[in-house]
Structure 1
C-alpha cells in the first residue's frame, strides 16, 4: 500500500470521526440550551417541557411498570405493519411485472391510492376490522403497501431491456429472468423501499393509536395532551424518534452487509 493510499484512508477515517463527534456535540448543545432556556424561563417549560422534566416522567412511567408495555406494543404493531407492507407490496409488484397488461390497467388506480390521504380510510378500517390492534396494523399496512408497490415496480421496469432480451434468446423462463436478473439488479430499490417503509409504518401506527388505542406511545401522546401533561407528550415523542432511528439504522446496516457480500462475491 502506497503512502498516498494510507494517507487517504487515514483522512477518511478522521473525517468519519469528526462527523460523528460534530453530530453528538450538536445534540448535546441543543439539549443543554433547551434545559437552560426552560430553567431561566426564556421558554415556558409547561408548553415545551425540558429534558429534566421528560427524564422525571420517564422514570415515573418506568417505576409504574407501564413504560416498557407501551413501547413494546407500538414496536410490535410497527414491525408487523412494516413487514406485511413490504412483503405484500413486493409480491404484488412481482405479479404486476409478470403481467404487464394488468400493470397498465391498475396504474391509475395505484396513483390515486398513493395520493389518497390514508387517514381518510381509518374510520372505515375501524368499522371493518374492529376497534383494536388489528385496525392499527391494517392502517400501517395500507400506508406502506402502495408506496412499496409503486417503487419496487418502477425498479423492475427500469431493468435494461437488452439484458432481458438476451436472456430470452437463451430461452430463459420468466421465473429465471426474475430470479437471476430482475431481483439482483433491483436490490437498491428494495432497500430504498425498506427505508421509506420504516417511516411510513410509524406514521400509520401512531395515527391508528391516536384513534383507537388504549396502550402504546401514540396513546400516551394523545392522553398527555388531553390531561395537559406535555412532559408525557414530549417524552413519548423523543422515545418514538429514538426507536424509529434505530429501525432505520438496522435497515442501513443490512444494506451495508448486502453490498459487502456482493462485493466479496465479485
Structure 2
C-alpha cells in the first residue's frame, strides 16, 4: 500500500509538470504569466550557480526556523499558564478569539514601526500567527483529557502539579507534537507576509520584485523553492514526531 501510494503521488506530480510544460510549449497558456517547468528550472539553476539564490534562501529559512521554534515554545507555555489558572483562562478567552480572527497583515505595519524594517519585525509577524494557534490547539488538548484520569490522581491525594505532570501533559503530548506540523505552514505564511511588507532580502522579496519587473518566471521559481523547502521542513517534523511518539 505504501509503495502504491508513493507511486500514485509521483505519477500525479509528473503528470501535472508534464501537462504544464506542454501547455506552455504549445501556448495553451500565456507563458509570460505562467511560464513552464523547464524555464522555471533554468531560472533556479542559474540563480543557484551565480550565488544570487543562497542569501535569499538562507534569510527566509532562518526567519522561518526562529518563528517556528519560538512560536511553538511560547504558545505551549502560554497554554500551560492558562490551564493552570482557570481565572486567567476565563479572562483571556475572548481576547484570544478576537486576536486569532484579526488579519495579521494589518498588524504588519505596526510591527514595522515598533521593531524596524528588518529581521525582528518579520519574526514578530510570524509569532503573531504561530503563538495564538499553538495556544488554542494545546489548551483545547489539555481540556479534552479524560476526566477519570484526573479523578484518580485526586483520589490518591495528588495536587494540580501532579495532575498536570502525570495526566494532562502525557495525554496531550501527541497533540503538542502535531502542533509542530501546523506551525510549519503557519511560520512560512508569517515570514512571507512579513517579507512582502518590509524585506529587502528573502524569497518573499524575490516574489514582490518579480511582480514589479514582470519576471513571472522568477516569481514561480521562488514559489517552487518555498514549496520544496517547506515540504522538507514538514517531513523533518514528521520524522521527529515519529521518534518522540515511539519513545513515549
CA distance in 2, matches of 1:128, 1:229: 33
- How far the C-alpha of 1:61 sits from its partner, in A, is 1.0
Match of residue 69, structure 1, among 55, 59, 69: 55
RMSD of the TM alignment (CA)? 1.1
- How far the C-alpha of 1:175 sits from its partner, in A, is 2.2
Are 2:234 and 1:245 aligned? no
Aligned match of 2:109: 123
Are 2:195 and 1:209 aligned? yes
Are 2:6 and 1:25 aligned? no
Q: Which runs of 4+ in 1 moved over 6 A?
A: none
Are 2:219 and 1:233 aligned? yes
- How far the C-alpha of 1:146 sits from its partner, in A, is 0.6
Q: Deviations over 1:139-169 (max 9, x none)?
A: 0011110111111111111112221122122
CA distance in 1, matches of 2:7, 2:148: 47
Aligned match of 1:54: 40
**TM-score, reference length from structure 2:** 0.97
> Of the two, which has the highest radius of gyration?
1
CA distance in 2, matches of 1:185, 1:175: 15
Q: Deviations over 1:52-80 (max 9, x none)?
A: 11112112211221211111110100010
**In the TM superposition, what are the counterparts of 1:1-266 in structure 2 within 5 Å?**
15-262=1-248
Aligned match of 1:9: none
Aligned residues of 2:71 and 2:130 also touching (Cα < 8 A): yes
CA distance in 1, matches of 2:133, 2:200: 29
CA distance in 2, matches of 1:142, 1:64: 35
**Secondary structure of the corresponding residue to residue 186 of structure 1:** helix
Instruction: Give unpaired runs (5+ residues) of structure 1.
Output: 1-14
**TM-score, reference length from structure 1:** 0.90
CA distance in 2, matches of 1:32, 1:165: 59
Aligned residues of 2:115 and 2:121 also touching (Cα < 8 A): yes
Instruction: Give unpaired runs (5+ residues) of structure 2.
Output: none
CA distance in 2, matches of 1:130, 1:25: 46
Equivalent residues, number? 248
